[in-house]
Amino acid sequence: MKKNSLSLFAVLIVLLGLFLFYNVRSVRDDARRFVEMELINELSQLSVDIESWIGGEMRVLEVMREIIKHVPKEELIAQAQYNPFLVMRDDELDPYIGLADGTTLDNRDRFTGVAYDPRERIWYQKALE
């Protein structure tokens, strides 16, 4: 009888150990899944925020471009001497924004036949400073 009770006790301890091991692993896996889901939620919210911010900045640029297009030529020329960042050419007053890779924002070819790189412009170098 004593032998049976010892073996029963040993089986009980082994079963308790297995259940404890299983529960610890299960809790750890649940915690990992919870952290992953939290990170995914934060990333998707951040993505929405960035998209919204970029969309707002693009709308601001479009509005500024439209404003400049509708300002009389004489007024733009008068303002050009006080604003080193106002980009103008003698034959054209179409505003543009030069990007870091040397292209323009809307990728229109404004300078055919001219070796033009906005990064070499004074306004671009001052903006980098």
> What pLDDT, on a 0 to 100 scale, did the predictor assign at position 81?
67
95 C-beta neighbours (distance < 10 Å), count: 18
**What pTM was estimated for this model as a whole?**
0.39
pLDDT in tens, 18-40: 999 899 999 999 999 999 999 99
In this structure, are residues 96 and 102 in contact, taking their beta carbons and an 8 Å threshold?
A: no
> What pLDDT, on a 0 to 100 scale, did the predictor assign at position 93?
45
The CA distance from 90 to 80, in Å, is 12
| Residue closest to 39 by CA, chosen among 28, 27, 47 | 47
The CA distance from 126 to 98, in Å, is 13
Per-10-residue mean pLDDT of the chain, 129 residues long, equals: 79 90 91 94 91 85 78 72 61 53 55 64 78
